[in-house]
Amino acid sequence: MRLESRVEQDEFTEHASKCFDLPFDGTTYFDAWEKPSVPDEFTIGLIHGPSGSGKSTLLGEFGVEEKPEWSTTRAVVSHFATPEDAVERLTAVGFNSIPSWMRPYHCLSTGEQFRADLARKLNHNVVIDEFTSVVNRDVAKSASVAVSRYIKEKGFKNVVFATCHEDIKEWLNPEWSFDTSDGSYSIGRWLQRPSIRLKIYRGGLRKWETFAHHHYLNKTVNKASHCYLLYWGETLVGFNATLYLPGRIPPLYDGDDRPTYRASRTVVLPDFQGLGIGVRFSDALGQLYLDQGLRFFSKTAHFRFGEYRQKADWWRATSTNLKDRSKSRGKKSGKWDHWHVDQKRICYSHEYIGKRGNKYRELYEEALIKKTKKNKESSFLYEKTFDL
């Protein structure tokens, strides 16, 4: 499909054409790609290729990109349909830095602006040009995974991206892709997302400084914490701190007197948010403590963290999970031992019990079965626990 454009000739065009021996009469031509035969309905389509190869022109065959407008006097989080919609969309694209939500758009980093724009754009029948072009490749990969997951969870149809970076193809996992460098069209069903190999090391408090201002609550960490560092290759990406939990904790089963620990801080650097690293980091530490004959609890107000644990059968909801604690009174004004009772927020609260086959989980399940048999009214609890 040949496109033509004309410009007025002047001393500048004449000088440039003479310098480079280019015949020029004021007319330029561009051979654009015709729209490929894609399905009438799909989830994600991807157009990729080098600059100047016709990506944006081809993208225009699928629709016109809308550019979100941002107020300079309102927080980023205030630009959505409802507060609930804001939380869902921002976390869905891997923008999990809550303090950054409270800033105006122009005060965000380039990577944060990229994710904020995505959060507002994603819907049915949208086109997004220059996808990941202005961010580093770590952000590009993590954002691609988060966006792909959200589009498929929400059931959005006919979302088309254009990018000059082919390295995000396997992370975005499109249903089809078109390469404007050679005109090749491919189906994405054979794509496999690359695996991520992460390593956990026992670390020190000094590394907390790297993560402190990214935590959604505050910048402090208890000096008695056990600290763990998470690396992707040679790159530090995550931090976790755990604390010993004294006091009487209801046993998981008869005779359960294991020492108890709780997660205190879990932070993944913004460039790597959206890949699911944080929840799996927490899972791995839970298993580490379980393997040492210890119990591991975690409480969070973070929607993505909490909902993941609600669905994962290796986490057990505690009696305070999603309970209103505003009227709770502990031994020291809302404090039970040194586990603070959060009286302002409704939090997710879970204990890591391990995946099937773990001896501690088997003891718990046996105890639950016995309890169910004794009390017919709790039979639904039995079904809910085991039919996952």
> Percentage of the chain with pLDDT > 70?
89
CB 328 within 8 A of CB 341: yes
206-215, 223-232, 235-244: the lowest-pLDDT one: 206-215
* pLDDT value of residue 369: 86
- CA dist 264 and 246 (Å) reads 14
pLDDT tens digit string along 143-161?
999 999 999 999 999 999 9
Buried residues in 187-198 as b, exposed as e (16+ CB within 10 A): ebeebeeeebeb
DSSP result, 302-371 = -HHHHHHHHH-TTEEE-TTTT---TT---TTSSEETTEE--SSS--EEEEE--STT-HHHHHHHHHHHHH
* pLDDT value of residue 218: 66
* pLDDT value of residue 344: 58
Residue 376 banded pLDDT, cuts 50, 70, 90: very low
Q: Which of 310, 235, 296, 290 is nearest to 266 (CA)?
A: 296
- CA dist 319 and 16 (Å) reads 76
Would the pLDDT of 335 be above 50? no
Would the pLDDT of 169 be above 90? yes
- Tokens 């586990």: give the residue: 339
Q: Name the 3-class secondary structure at 136.
A: coil
7-11, 259-263, 340-344: the lowest-pLDDT one: 340-344
E strands, 217-294, where?
A: 226-232, 235-244, 260-268
Would the pLDDT of 339 be above 60? no
Residue 29 banded pLDDT, cuts 50, 70, 90: confident
Residue 329 banded pLDDT, cuts 50, 70, 90: low
The residue type found at 54 is G
pLDDT tens digit string along 199-224?
999 987 889 999 988 876 667 889 99
Average pLDDT over residues 103-132: 95
Q: Which of 299, 307, 314 is nearest to 265 (CA)?
A: 299
- Range list of H helices, 44-106: 55-59, 83-92, 98-101
pLDDT tens digit string along 286-325?
999 999 999 999 999 888 889 999 999 999 999 999 987 6
User: Which H helix or E strand runs over 161?
Assistant: strand 159-163
CB 161 within 8 A of CB 45: yes
How many C-beta atoms lie closer than 10 Å to residue 331's C-beta?
9
Q: Whole-model pTM?
A: 0.77
Q: Which of 182, 186, 150, 159 is nearest to 170 (CA)?
A: 186
Residue 46 banded pLDDT, cuts 50, 70, 90: very high
